[in-house]
Chains A and B, each alone.
Chain A
Amino acid sequence: MKGFSSKQIVIGSLVLAVAIVLPLIFTSTFFQHVMILVFMFGVMGVAWNIMGGYAGMFSFGQVAFFGIGAYTSSFLLMTYGVNPWVGLVIGGLVAALVAAALGYPCSNLRGHYFAIASIAFGEIVRTHFNNWKLVGAAEGLSLPMLDGGMKDFMFHSSKLPYYYIVLAFLLLALLVCRMVSRSKMGYYFRAIKESHDVAQVLGINVARYRLVAIMVSAFLTAMAGTFYAQYILYIDPDSVMILPVSVQIVLIAMLGGAGTVMGPLIGAAILMPISEVTRVYLGYKGTGIDMLVYGFLITLISVYQPKGVWGLVSNRAKRVG
Protein backbone atom coordinates (compact mmCIF):
# COMPACT_ATOMS: atom_id res chain seq x y z
CA MET A 1 0.00 0.00 0.00
CA LYS A 2 1.32 3.37 -1.00
CA GLY A 3 2.57 5.66 1.70
CA PHE A 4 2.28 3.28 4.66
CA SER A 5 5.31 3.19 6.94
CA SER A 6 6.66 -0.25 7.79
CA LYS A 7 5.55 0.25 11.39
CA GLN A 8 2.01 1.00 10.24
CA ILE A 9 2.00 -2.10 8.03
CA VAL A 10 3.14 -4.35 10.90
CA ILE A 11 0.68 -2.95 13.42
CA GLY A 12 -2.12 -2.84 10.86
CA SER A 13 -1.66 -6.46 9.79
CA LEU A 14 -1.47 -7.59 13.41
CA VAL A 15 -4.72 -5.82 14.30
CA LEU A 16 -6.38 -7.20 11.19
CA ALA A 17 -5.18 -10.73 12.00
CA VAL A 18 -6.58 -10.42 15.52
CA ALA A 19 -9.89 -9.13 14.11
CA ILE A 20 -10.07 -12.13 11.78
CA VAL A 21 -9.28 -14.72 14.46
CA LEU A 22 -11.26 -13.13 17.30
CA PRO A 23 -14.75 -14.49 16.48
CA LEU A 24 -13.27 -17.98 16.03
CA ILE A 25 -12.04 -17.90 19.63
CA PHE A 26 -14.94 -16.05 21.22
CA THR A 27 -17.82 -17.89 19.64
CA SER A 28 -20.66 -16.47 21.73
CA THR A 29 -23.23 -14.89 19.45
CA PHE A 30 -23.54 -11.92 21.78
CA PHE A 31 -19.86 -11.16 21.46
CA GLN A 32 -20.03 -11.52 17.69
CA HIS A 33 -23.12 -9.32 17.57
CA VAL A 34 -21.41 -6.56 19.56
CA MET A 35 -18.36 -6.72 17.32
CA ILE A 36 -20.56 -6.51 14.23
CA LEU A 37 -22.17 -3.38 15.66
CA VAL A 38 -18.75 -1.95 16.48
CA PHE A 39 -17.66 -2.39 12.88
CA MET A 40 -20.97 -1.17 11.44
CA PHE A 41 -20.94 1.99 13.55
CA GLY A 42 -17.24 2.22 12.78
CA VAL A 43 -18.13 2.48 9.09
CA MET A 44 -20.68 5.21 9.84
CA GLY A 45 -18.29 7.04 12.17
CA VAL A 46 -15.61 7.05 9.49
CA ALA A 47 -18.16 8.26 6.93
CA TRP A 48 -19.35 11.03 9.26
CA ASN A 49 -15.75 12.00 9.88
CA ILE A 50 -15.12 12.66 6.18
CA MET A 51 -17.78 15.36 6.11
CA GLY A 52 -17.73 16.38 9.78
CA GLY A 53 -14.21 15.84 11.02
CA TYR A 54 -12.43 16.87 7.84
CA ALA A 55 -14.78 19.18 5.94
CA GLY A 56 -16.43 20.67 9.04
CA MET A 57 -20.06 19.86 8.24
CA PHE A 58 -21.45 18.63 11.54
CA SER A 59 -24.25 16.43 10.35
CA PHE A 60 -26.84 15.24 12.81
CA GLY A 61 -28.83 13.65 10.00
CA GLN A 62 -26.59 10.74 9.02
CA VAL A 63 -29.29 8.28 9.97
CA ALA A 64 -31.24 9.41 6.90
CA PHE A 65 -28.49 8.07 4.64
CA PHE A 66 -28.33 4.88 6.71
CA GLY A 67 -32.09 4.48 6.36
CA ILE A 68 -32.11 5.29 2.67
CA GLY A 69 -29.47 2.61 2.07
CA ALA A 70 -31.43 0.07 4.10
CA TYR A 71 -34.75 0.92 2.46
CA THR A 72 -33.47 1.09 -1.10
CA SER A 73 -31.89 -2.36 -1.16
CA SER A 74 -34.73 -3.93 0.83
CA PHE A 75 -37.43 -2.38 -1.30
CA LEU A 76 -35.69 -3.42 -4.53
CA LEU A 77 -35.23 -6.95 -3.22
CA MET A 78 -38.87 -7.31 -2.14
CA THR A 79 -40.49 -5.66 -5.12
CA TYR A 80 -38.24 -6.51 -8.03
CA GLY A 81 -36.10 -9.33 -6.65
CA VAL A 82 -32.96 -7.26 -7.09
CA ASN A 83 -29.92 -8.94 -5.60
CA PRO A 84 -28.93 -7.20 -2.31
CA TRP A 85 -25.35 -6.66 -3.49
CA VAL A 86 -26.71 -4.71 -6.45
CA GLY A 87 -29.15 -3.04 -4.04
CA LEU A 88 -26.19 -2.02 -1.91
CA VAL A 89 -24.63 -0.08 -4.75
CA ILE A 90 -27.93 1.45 -5.86
CA GLY A 91 -28.73 2.37 -2.25
CA GLY A 92 -25.37 4.10 -1.98
CA LEU A 93 -25.99 6.03 -5.17
CA VAL A 94 -29.52 7.03 -4.14
CA ALA A 95 -28.20 8.24 -0.79
CA ALA A 96 -25.46 10.21 -2.54
CA LEU A 97 -28.04 11.84 -4.81
CA VAL A 98 -30.29 12.72 -1.88
CA ALA A 99 -27.19 14.06 -0.12
CA ALA A 100 -26.50 16.28 -3.11
CA ALA A 101 -30.08 17.55 -2.97
CA LEU A 102 -29.54 18.37 0.70
CA GLY A 103 -26.04 19.69 0.23
CA TYR A 104 -26.79 22.07 -2.59
CA PRO A 105 -29.22 24.40 -0.79
CA CYS A 106 -27.14 24.07 2.39
CA SER A 107 -23.85 24.82 0.67
CA ASN A 108 -23.55 28.18 2.39
CA LEU A 109 -24.65 27.09 5.85
CA ARG A 110 -21.82 26.99 8.35
CA GLY A 111 -21.32 25.57 11.82
CA HIS A 112 -24.41 25.29 13.94
CA TYR A 113 -26.70 26.28 11.11
CA PHE A 114 -25.65 23.28 9.06
CA ALA A 115 -26.11 21.04 12.10
CA ILE A 116 -29.65 22.31 12.60
CA ALA A 117 -30.48 21.87 8.91
CA SER A 118 -29.18 18.30 9.04
CA ILE A 119 -31.40 17.49 12.03
CA ALA A 120 -34.38 18.83 10.11
CA PHE A 121 -33.35 16.80 7.08
CA GLY A 122 -33.16 13.57 9.10
CA GLU A 123 -36.56 14.20 10.65
CA ILE A 124 -38.16 15.05 7.30
CA VAL A 125 -36.89 11.80 5.81
CA ARG A 126 -38.08 9.80 8.83
CA THR A 127 -41.55 11.35 8.81
CA HIS A 128 -41.79 10.75 5.11
CA PHE A 129 -40.95 7.06 5.40
CA ASN A 130 -43.25 6.72 8.40
CA ASN A 131 -46.17 7.67 6.15
CA TRP A 132 -45.08 6.24 2.83
CA LYS A 133 -47.38 3.27 2.08
CA LEU A 134 -45.23 1.98 -0.76
CA VAL A 135 -42.41 1.13 1.65
CA GLY A 136 -44.63 -0.16 4.44
CA ALA A 137 -45.03 3.15 6.30
CA ALA A 138 -44.68 2.72 10.07
CA GLU A 139 -44.86 -1.09 9.80
CA GLY A 140 -41.59 -1.19 7.90
CA LEU A 141 -40.31 -3.95 5.66
CA SER A 142 -39.66 -7.60 6.45
CA LEU A 143 -37.12 -8.98 4.06
CA PRO A 144 -38.04 -12.21 2.21
CA MET A 145 -36.06 -15.32 3.10
CA LEU A 146 -33.63 -16.24 0.37
CA ASP A 147 -31.64 -19.49 0.21
CA GLY A 148 -28.78 -17.85 2.02
CA GLY A 149 -25.13 -17.66 1.15
CA MET A 150 -22.72 -15.07 -0.07
CA LYS A 151 -24.62 -14.51 -3.32
CA ASP A 152 -27.78 -13.58 -1.42
CA PHE A 153 -26.03 -11.50 1.26
CA MET A 154 -28.02 -13.51 3.78
CA PHE A 155 -26.85 -16.15 6.26
CA HIS A 156 -29.19 -18.17 8.44
CA SER A 157 -26.97 -20.37 10.55
CA SER A 158 -24.12 -18.18 11.68
CA LYS A 159 -23.16 -14.58 12.32
CA LEU A 160 -19.61 -15.18 11.13
CA PRO A 161 -20.12 -14.24 7.46
CA TYR A 162 -21.80 -10.99 8.55
CA TYR A 163 -18.84 -10.32 10.78
CA TYR A 164 -16.36 -10.68 7.93
CA ILE A 165 -18.45 -8.72 5.46
CA VAL A 166 -18.82 -5.74 7.76
CA LEU A 167 -15.13 -5.97 8.61
CA ALA A 168 -14.41 -5.68 4.89
CA PHE A 169 -16.75 -2.66 4.65
CA LEU A 170 -14.88 -1.08 7.53
CA LEU A 171 -11.53 -1.64 5.81
CA LEU A 172 -12.93 -0.08 2.65
CA ALA A 173 -14.22 2.96 4.57
CA LEU A 174 -10.88 3.39 6.35
CA LEU A 175 -8.97 3.17 3.07
CA VAL A 176 -11.28 5.70 1.41
CA CYS A 177 -10.89 8.06 4.37
CA ARG A 178 -7.12 7.66 4.37
CA MET A 179 -6.92 8.31 0.63
CA VAL A 180 -9.11 11.39 0.97
CA SER A 181 -7.15 12.73 3.94
CA ARG A 182 -3.83 12.50 2.11
CA SER A 183 -5.06 13.91 -1.19
CA LYS A 184 -5.66 17.42 -2.44
CA MET A 185 -9.28 16.89 -1.42
CA GLY A 186 -8.25 16.31 2.20
CA TYR A 187 -6.26 19.55 2.30
CA TYR A 188 -9.16 21.43 0.74
CA PHE A 189 -11.66 19.92 3.19
CA ARG A 190 -9.53 21.08 6.13
CA ALA A 191 -9.24 24.57 4.66
CA ILE A 192 -13.04 24.70 4.28
CA LYS A 193 -13.46 23.51 7.86
CA GLU A 194 -11.26 26.35 9.11
CA SER A 195 -13.14 29.03 7.19
CA HIS A 196 -14.93 29.44 3.89
CA ASP A 197 -13.15 32.76 3.39
CA VAL A 198 -9.69 31.23 3.67
CA ALA A 199 -10.70 28.41 1.36
CA GLN A 200 -12.04 30.80 -1.27
CA VAL A 201 -8.95 32.99 -1.38
CA LEU A 202 -6.93 29.86 -1.98
CA GLY A 203 -9.05 29.26 -5.06
CA ILE A 204 -11.17 26.47 -3.59
CA ASN A 205 -14.69 26.01 -4.92
CA VAL A 206 -16.23 25.58 -1.48
CA ALA A 207 -19.68 24.46 -2.61
CA ARG A 208 -18.29 21.78 -4.92
CA TYR A 209 -15.89 20.29 -2.39
CA ARG A 210 -18.53 20.28 0.32
CA LEU A 211 -20.83 18.45 -2.05
CA VAL A 212 -18.19 15.80 -2.73
CA ALA A 213 -17.62 15.30 1.02
CA ILE A 214 -21.29 14.89 1.79
CA MET A 215 -21.85 12.49 -1.15
CA VAL A 216 -18.94 10.22 -0.27
CA SER A 217 -20.10 10.20 3.33
CA ALA A 218 -23.67 9.37 2.31
CA PHE A 219 -22.56 6.50 0.07
CA LEU A 220 -20.52 4.82 2.82
CA THR A 221 -23.28 5.35 5.40
CA ALA A 222 -25.86 3.82 3.04
CA MET A 223 -23.65 0.73 2.68
CA ALA A 224 -23.92 0.27 6.44
CA GLY A 225 -27.69 0.65 6.04
CA THR A 226 -27.97 -2.17 3.52
CA PHE A 227 -25.75 -4.29 5.73
CA TYR A 228 -28.04 -3.67 8.70
CA ALA A 229 -31.13 -4.63 6.70
CA GLN A 230 -29.52 -7.86 5.51
CA TYR A 231 -28.35 -8.63 9.03
CA ILE A 232 -31.53 -7.95 10.99
CA LEU A 233 -33.89 -8.76 8.04
CA TYR A 234 -36.42 -6.25 9.30
CA ILE A 235 -36.39 -2.47 9.07
CA ASP A 236 -38.78 0.27 10.06
CA PRO A 237 -38.38 4.04 10.47
CA ASP A 238 -38.12 3.67 14.26
CA SER A 239 -35.04 1.49 13.99
CA VAL A 240 -33.14 2.93 11.02
CA MET A 241 -34.17 6.57 10.89
CA ILE A 242 -34.29 7.99 14.40
CA LEU A 243 -32.30 10.95 15.65
CA PRO A 244 -30.52 9.14 18.53
CA VAL A 245 -28.67 7.00 15.99
CA SER A 246 -27.42 10.16 14.27
CA VAL A 247 -26.27 11.49 17.62
CA GLN A 248 -24.54 8.22 18.39
CA ILE A 249 -22.62 8.44 15.11
CA VAL A 250 -21.43 11.96 15.93
CA LEU A 251 -20.39 10.95 19.45
CA ILE A 252 -18.45 7.98 18.14
CA ALA A 253 -16.41 10.16 15.83
CA MET A 254 -15.92 12.96 18.35
CA LEU A 255 -14.93 10.62 21.17
CA GLY A 256 -12.51 8.64 19.03
CA GLY A 257 -11.06 11.68 17.33
CA ALA A 258 -12.64 13.87 14.68
CA GLY A 259 -10.41 14.54 11.71
CA THR A 260 -8.32 11.39 12.19
CA VAL A 261 -8.61 8.22 10.11
CA MET A 262 -8.67 5.71 12.98
CA GLY A 263 -10.52 7.82 15.56
CA PRO A 264 -14.09 6.80 14.73
CA LEU A 265 -13.18 3.11 14.92
CA ILE A 266 -11.77 3.63 18.41
CA GLY A 267 -14.91 5.56 19.34
CA ALA A 268 -17.14 2.75 18.11
CA ALA A 269 -15.06 0.18 19.98
CA ILE A 270 -15.61 2.09 23.23
CA LEU A 271 -19.23 3.20 22.88
CA MET A 272 -20.99 0.29 21.16
CA PRO A 273 -20.14 -2.31 23.82
CA ILE A 274 -21.32 0.09 26.53
CA SER A 275 -24.64 0.67 24.81
CA GLU A 276 -25.21 -3.03 23.99
CA VAL A 277 -24.25 -4.28 27.44
CA THR A 278 -26.48 -1.79 29.25
CA ARG A 279 -29.29 -2.60 26.83
CA VAL A 280 -29.02 -6.35 27.37
CA TYR A 281 -28.43 -6.40 31.12
CA LEU A 282 -30.63 -3.50 32.17
CA GLY A 283 -33.21 -3.83 29.41
CA TYR A 284 -35.79 -1.10 29.07
CA LYS A 285 -34.89 0.30 32.50
CA GLY A 286 -31.36 0.87 31.25
CA THR A 287 -32.45 3.22 28.49
CA GLY A 288 -30.35 6.30 28.63
CA ILE A 289 -27.61 4.89 30.84
CA ASP A 290 -25.34 4.51 27.83
CA MET A 291 -26.07 8.15 27.02
CA LEU A 292 -25.07 9.14 30.57
CA VAL A 293 -21.77 7.33 30.12
CA TYR A 294 -21.29 8.89 26.67
CA GLY A 295 -21.93 12.34 28.07
CA PHE A 296 -19.39 11.81 30.81
CA LEU A 297 -16.75 10.53 28.35
CA ILE A 298 -17.38 13.35 25.90
CA THR A 299 -16.98 15.90 28.68
CA LEU A 300 -13.67 14.35 29.71
CA ILE A 301 -12.45 14.25 26.15
CA SER A 302 -13.41 17.78 25.25
CA VAL A 303 -11.78 19.14 28.39
CA TYR A 304 -8.56 17.16 28.23
CA GLN A 305 -8.01 16.12 24.63
CA PRO A 306 -10.17 17.69 21.92
CA LYS A 307 -8.52 15.43 19.36
CA GLY A 308 -10.25 12.47 20.98
CA VAL A 309 -8.91 9.17 22.24
CA TRP A 310 -6.87 8.74 19.08
CA GLY A 311 -5.26 12.11 19.81
CA LEU A 312 -4.17 10.76 23.21
CA VAL A 313 -2.76 7.60 21.67
CA SER A 314 -0.87 9.30 18.84
CA ASN A 315 0.54 12.01 21.15
CA ARG A 316 1.81 9.29 23.46
CA ALA A 317 3.29 7.43 20.52
CA LYS A 318 5.06 10.58 19.32
CA ARG A 319 6.53 11.26 22.72
CA VAL A 320 7.82 7.70 23.07
CA GLY A 321 9.30 7.99 19.60
Chain B
Amino acid sequence: MKKAACLDVQGVTKLFGGLRANDDVHFRVEEGEIVSIIGPNGAGKSTLFNCITGFYKPNSGKVLFFGKDITRLRADKVCRMGIARTFQVVQVIGDMTVLENVMTGALLGCVKIARARDKAEEVLAFTGLLEKKDRLGTELTIAEKKRLEVSMALATQPRLLMLDESMAGLTVVELREMMELIKAVRKSGVTLVVVEHVMEAVMEISDRVVVLNSGRKIMEGPPREVVSNPEVIRAYLGDGYRAVGR
Protein backbone atom coordinates (compact mmCIF):
# COMPACT_ATOMS: atom_id res chain seq x y z
CA MET B 1 0.00 0.00 0.00
CA LYS B 2 1.16 3.49 -0.82
CA LYS B 3 2.35 5.65 2.06
CA ALA B 4 -0.27 8.21 3.05
CA ALA B 5 0.43 11.69 1.69
CA CYS B 6 1.12 14.51 4.11
CA LEU B 7 -1.87 16.35 2.69
CA ASP B 8 -4.47 14.87 0.39
CA VAL B 9 -7.16 17.24 -0.82
CA GLN B 10 -9.96 15.29 -2.49
CA GLY B 11 -12.57 17.15 -4.48
CA VAL B 12 -13.02 20.10 -2.18
CA THR B 13 -15.93 22.33 -3.19
CA LYS B 14 -16.85 25.49 -1.35
CA LEU B 15 -19.89 27.57 -2.27
CA PHE B 16 -20.67 31.11 -1.20
CA GLY B 17 -24.27 31.39 -2.29
CA GLY B 18 -24.10 30.82 -6.05
CA LEU B 19 -20.36 31.40 -6.25
CA ARG B 20 -18.15 28.33 -6.55
CA ALA B 21 -15.07 29.61 -4.72
CA ASN B 22 -13.53 26.15 -4.85
CA ASP B 23 -14.76 23.66 -7.39
CA ASP B 24 -13.76 20.03 -7.00
CA VAL B 25 -10.12 20.76 -6.17
CA HIS B 26 -7.78 17.76 -5.95
CA PHE B 27 -4.12 17.73 -5.05
CA ARG B 28 -1.60 15.87 -2.91
CA VAL B 29 1.41 17.01 -0.99
CA GLU B 30 4.07 14.45 -0.08
CA GLU B 31 6.02 14.76 3.15
CA GLY B 32 9.06 17.04 2.80
CA GLU B 33 7.78 18.90 -0.27
CA ILE B 34 7.25 22.59 -0.84
CA VAL B 35 4.11 23.06 -2.91
CA SER B 36 2.98 26.49 -4.08
CA ILE B 37 -0.57 27.41 -4.92
CA ILE B 38 -0.81 30.24 -7.44
CA GLY B 39 -3.58 31.87 -9.41
CA PRO B 40 -5.00 35.29 -10.23
CA ASN B 41 -6.85 37.29 -7.57
CA GLY B 42 -10.15 35.66 -6.73
CA ALA B 43 -9.02 32.22 -7.91
CA GLY B 44 -9.94 30.69 -4.55
CA LYS B 45 -6.49 30.25 -3.02
CA SER B 46 -7.30 31.69 0.37
CA THR B 47 -10.64 29.91 0.42
CA LEU B 48 -8.83 26.63 -0.17
CA PHE B 49 -6.44 27.48 2.65
CA ASN B 50 -9.39 28.15 4.93
CA CYS B 51 -11.09 24.90 3.93
CA ILE B 52 -7.96 22.91 4.76
CA THR B 53 -7.25 24.65 8.08
CA GLY B 54 -10.78 24.47 9.47
CA PHE B 55 -11.80 28.11 9.08
CA TYR B 56 -14.37 27.16 6.45
CA LYS B 57 -16.34 23.95 6.17
CA PRO B 58 -16.24 22.71 2.58
CA ASN B 59 -19.62 21.84 1.02
CA SER B 60 -18.21 18.60 -0.28
CA GLY B 61 -14.92 16.81 -0.60
CA LYS B 62 -12.38 15.58 1.88
CA VAL B 63 -9.10 16.71 3.37
CA LEU B 64 -6.77 13.99 4.65
CA PHE B 65 -3.69 14.71 6.74
CA PHE B 66 -1.35 11.73 6.85
CA GLY B 67 -4.37 9.57 6.09
CA LYS B 68 -6.58 11.04 8.81
CA ASP B 69 -9.75 12.80 7.82
CA ILE B 70 -9.58 16.39 9.08
CA THR B 71 -12.45 17.79 7.00
CA ARG B 72 -14.74 19.94 9.14
CA LEU B 73 -12.48 19.87 12.21
CA ARG B 74 -12.43 23.15 14.12
CA ALA B 75 -9.39 25.33 13.34
CA ASP B 76 -7.78 24.86 16.76
CA LYS B 77 -8.10 21.09 16.42
CA VAL B 78 -6.51 21.20 12.98
CA CYS B 79 -3.62 23.04 14.59
CA ARG B 80 -3.32 20.40 17.29
CA MET B 81 -3.23 17.72 14.58
CA GLY B 82 -0.05 19.36 13.31
CA ILE B 83 -0.99 21.94 10.69
CA ALA B 84 0.07 25.53 11.36
CA ARG B 85 -0.74 28.51 9.17
CA THR B 86 -0.27 32.22 8.70
CA PHE B 87 -2.70 34.79 7.34
CA GLN B 88 -2.70 36.89 4.20
CA VAL B 89 -3.16 39.95 6.40
CA VAL B 90 -0.44 39.43 8.97
CA GLN B 91 -1.77 38.68 12.47
CA VAL B 92 0.33 38.93 15.60
CA ILE B 93 -0.63 39.79 19.17
CA GLY B 94 0.03 43.52 19.30
CA ASP B 95 0.40 44.12 23.00
CA MET B 96 2.64 41.14 23.63
CA THR B 97 6.38 41.13 23.11
CA VAL B 98 7.86 39.03 20.31
CA LEU B 99 8.91 36.43 22.87
CA GLU B 100 5.45 36.29 24.46
CA ASN B 101 3.85 35.92 21.04
CA VAL B 102 5.95 32.88 20.30
CA MET B 103 5.52 31.53 23.83
CA THR B 104 1.77 31.54 23.29
CA GLY B 105 2.32 29.21 20.36
CA ALA B 106 4.81 27.11 22.32
CA LEU B 107 2.27 26.62 25.12
CA LEU B 108 0.44 24.14 22.92
CA GLY B 109 1.14 20.80 24.52
CA CYS B 110 3.03 22.26 27.47
CA VAL B 111 1.79 23.92 30.63
CA LYS B 112 4.95 25.30 32.21
CA ILE B 113 5.70 28.90 31.28
CA ALA B 114 9.45 28.47 31.73
CA ARG B 115 9.46 25.52 29.34
CA ALA B 116 7.49 27.52 26.76
CA ARG B 117 9.99 30.36 27.10
CA ASP B 118 12.90 28.02 26.31
CA LYS B 119 11.08 26.59 23.33
CA ALA B 120 10.16 30.06 22.09
CA GLU B 121 13.76 31.26 22.33
CA GLU B 122 14.88 28.25 20.33
CA VAL B 123 12.38 29.07 17.60
CA LEU B 124 13.37 32.74 17.58
CA ALA B 125 17.03 31.82 17.25
CA PHE B 126 16.06 29.68 14.27
CA THR B 127 14.00 32.40 12.59
CA GLY B 128 16.52 35.13 13.38
CA LEU B 129 14.29 37.28 15.57
CA LEU B 130 16.00 36.60 18.89
CA GLU B 131 17.50 40.06 19.29
CA LYS B 132 14.02 41.58 18.83
CA LYS B 133 12.42 39.38 21.47
CA ASP B 134 11.50 42.21 23.85
CA ARG B 135 9.87 44.41 21.20
CA LEU B 136 6.10 44.70 21.20
CA GLY B 137 4.19 43.14 18.31
CA THR B 138 2.92 46.57 17.27
CA GLU B 139 6.44 47.98 17.02
CA LEU B 140 7.59 45.62 14.26
CA THR B 141 7.95 46.31 10.54
CA ILE B 142 5.80 44.29 8.14
CA ALA B 143 8.70 41.99 7.31
CA GLU B 144 9.39 41.40 11.00
CA LYS B 145 5.72 40.76 11.67
CA LYS B 146 5.61 38.16 8.92
CA ARG B 147 8.69 36.51 10.32
CA LEU B 148 7.12 36.59 13.79
CA GLU B 149 3.96 35.03 12.45
CA VAL B 150 6.00 32.19 10.99
CA SER B 151 7.80 31.84 14.34
CA MET B 152 4.48 31.59 16.19
CA ALA B 153 3.30 28.94 13.76
CA LEU B 154 6.54 26.97 14.12
CA ALA B 155 6.28 27.14 17.91
CA THR B 156 3.20 24.92 17.74
CA GLN B 157 5.53 22.25 16.30
CA PRO B 158 3.66 21.53 13.08
CA ARG B 159 4.36 18.80 10.55
CA LEU B 160 2.81 20.94 7.83
CA LEU B 161 3.19 24.71 7.62
CA MET B 162 0.87 26.69 5.37
CA LEU B 163 1.91 30.24 4.48
CA ASP B 164 -0.57 32.66 2.94
CA GLU B 165 1.37 35.27 0.96
CA SER B 166 4.26 35.55 3.38
CA MET B 167 6.32 37.32 0.75
CA ALA B 168 3.92 39.99 -0.43
CA GLY B 169 5.13 43.52 0.13
CA LEU B 170 8.70 42.64 1.10
CA THR B 171 11.82 44.39 -0.18
CA VAL B 172 14.27 42.41 -2.29
CA VAL B 173 16.51 41.72 0.70
CA GLU B 174 13.61 40.74 2.93
CA LEU B 175 12.28 38.49 0.20
CA ARG B 176 15.60 36.69 -0.01
CA GLU B 177 15.65 36.25 3.79
CA MET B 178 12.14 34.85 3.80
CA MET B 179 13.02 32.35 1.07
CA GLU B 180 16.06 31.23 3.05
CA LEU B 181 13.85 30.81 6.09
CA ILE B 182 11.34 28.72 4.15
CA LYS B 183 14.11 26.47 2.87
CA ALA B 184 15.50 26.10 6.39
CA VAL B 185 12.05 25.16 7.67
CA ARG B 186 11.79 22.44 5.04
CA LYS B 187 15.26 21.21 5.94
CA SER B 188 14.13 20.89 9.58
CA GLY B 189 11.57 18.32 8.41
CA VAL B 190 8.42 20.41 7.99
CA THR B 191 6.35 20.15 4.81
CA LEU B 192 5.17 23.45 3.32
CA VAL B 193 2.22 24.64 1.29
CA VAL B 194 2.46 28.29 0.26
CA VAL B 195 0.06 30.62 -1.47
CA GLU B 196 2.16 33.12 -3.34
CA HIS B 197 2.02 35.85 -5.94
CA VAL B 198 5.72 36.62 -6.07
CA MET B 199 6.70 34.39 -9.01
CA GLU B 200 10.42 34.88 -8.44
CA ALA B 201 10.03 33.15 -5.09
CA VAL B 202 7.62 30.51 -6.38
CA MET B 203 10.06 29.50 -9.11
CA GLU B 204 12.93 29.14 -6.70
CA ILE B 205 11.45 27.38 -3.71
CA SER B 206 8.70 25.14 -5.07
CA ASP B 207 8.97 21.47 -5.93
CA ARG B 208 5.54 21.63 -7.50
CA VAL B 209 3.03 24.31 -8.32
CA VAL B 210 -0.75 24.03 -8.27
CA VAL B 211 -2.57 26.63 -10.37
CA LEU B 212 -6.12 27.69 -9.55
CA ASN B 213 -8.40 29.78 -11.71
CA SER B 214 -12.04 30.62 -10.95
CA GLY B 215 -12.05 28.05 -8.17
CA ARG B 216 -10.80 25.17 -10.33
CA LYS B 217 -7.40 23.58 -10.55
CA ILE B 218 -6.22 24.15 -14.12
CA MET B 219 -2.72 22.74 -13.90
CA GLU B 220 -0.21 21.15 -11.61
CA GLY B 221 3.47 20.42 -12.13
CA PRO B 222 7.06 21.56 -11.69
CA PRO B 223 7.41 25.37 -11.69
CA ARG B 224 9.14 25.60 -15.06
CA GLU B 225 6.45 23.61 -16.81
CA VAL B 226 3.69 25.57 -15.20
CA VAL B 227 4.83 29.04 -16.24
CA SER B 228 5.10 28.08 -19.88
CA ASN B 229 1.70 26.42 -19.99
CA PRO B 230 -0.65 28.29 -22.36
CA GLU B 231 -3.69 27.82 -20.17
CA VAL B 232 -1.90 29.31 -17.16
CA ILE B 233 -0.79 32.30 -19.20
CA ARG B 234 -4.32 32.78 -20.46
CA ALA B 235 -5.66 32.68 -16.91
CA TYR B 236 -3.30 35.45 -15.86
CA LEU B 237 -3.22 37.64 -18.96
CA GLY B 238 -6.41 36.90 -20.87
CA ASP B 239 -7.16 35.35 -24.26
CA GLY B 240 -5.12 37.77 -26.35
CA TYR B 241 -1.80 36.39 -25.20
CA ARG B 242 0.06 33.25 -26.19
CA ALA B 243 3.03 31.48 -24.71
CA VAL B 244 6.35 32.74 -26.04
CA GLY B 245 7.85 30.56 -28.74
CA ARG B 246 4.58 29.44 -30.25
Using CB atoms, name the residue of chain A closest to B91: A198
B92 within 8 A of A: yes
B53 CB contacts on chain A under 8 angstroms: 201
* B91, A187: Cβ atoms closer than 8 Å: no
What are 22 residue pairs bridging A and B, where the CB atoms are less than 8 Å apart in the complex? A187-B96, A187-B100, A188-B104, A188-B107, A190-B100, A191-B93, A194-B91, A195-B91, A198-B93, A199-B76, A200-B55, A200-B76, A201-B79, A201-B91, A201-B153, A201-B156, A202-B76, A202-B156, A203-B80, A203-B105, A204-B76, A205-B74
Q: Which 5 A-B pairs have the closest CB atoms?
A: A203-B79, A200-B75, A203-B108, A194-B93, A200-B76
Closest CB in chain A relative to B81 CB, distance in Å? 9
A206 within 8 A of B: yes
A187 CB contacts on chain B under 8 angstroms: 96, 100, 103-104, 107, 113
Q: Tell me, in angstroms, the Cα distance from A203 to B153 when the chains sit together.
A: 10
Contact with B along A273-286 (1 / 0, CB 8 A): 00000000000000
Contact with B along A54-98 (1 / 0, CB 8 A): 000000000000000000000000000000000000000000000
Q: Tell me, in angstroms, the Cα distance from A184 to B112 when the chains sit together.
A: 7
A188 CB contacts on chain B under 8 angstroms: 104, 107
* B76, A197: Cβ atoms closer than 8 Å: no
**Number of chain B residues whose Cβ lies closer than 8 Å to a Cβ of chain A:** 31
Using CB atoms, name the residue of chain B closest to A194: B93
* A200, B107: Cβ atoms closer than 8 Å: no
B84 CB contacts on chain A under 8 angstroms: 201
Q: Is the interface of A mostly helix, strand, loop or mixed?
A: helix
Using CB atoms, name the residue of chain A closest to B156: A203
Q: Tell me, in angstroms, the Cα distance from A198 to B85 when the chains sit together.
A: 10
Q: Tell me, in angstroms, the Cα distance from A191 to B152 when the chains sit together.
A: 12
B87 within 8 A of A: yes
Closest CB in chain A relative to B55 CB, distance in Å? 7
Closest CB in chain A relative to B152 CB, distance in Å? 6
Closest CB in chain A relative to B156 CB, distance in Å? 6
Q: Tell me, in angstroms, the Cα distance from A200 to B75 when the chains sit together.
A: 6
* B76, A203: Cβ atoms closer than 8 Å: yes
B19 within 8 A of A: no
A299 within 8 A of B: no
Using CB atoms, name the residue of chain B closest to A204: B76
B172 within 8 A of A: no
Chain A residues 197 to 225 lying within 8 A of chain B, measured CB to CB, are: 197-206
Using CB atoms, name the residue of chain B closest to A186: B113
Chain B residues 51 to 96 lying within 8 A of chain A, measured CB to CB, are: 53-55, 74-76, 79-80, 84-87, 91-96
Most buried by B among A182, A184, A197, A203: A203
Closest CB in chain A relative to B80 CB, distance in Å? 5
Chain B residues 100 to 148 lying within 8 A of chain A, measured CB to CB, are: 100, 103-105, 107-109, 111, 113, 116
Closest CB in chain A relative to B51 CB, distance in Å? 15
Closest CB in chain B relative to A210 CB, distance in Å? 12
| New contact pairs (15) apart from A201-B152, A203-B79, CB-CB < 8 Å | A184-B107, A187-B104, A188-B104, A190-B95, A190-B104, A191-B104, A201-B53, A201-B79, A201-B84, A201-B85, A201-B87, A202-B105, A202-B107, A203-B105, A205-B76
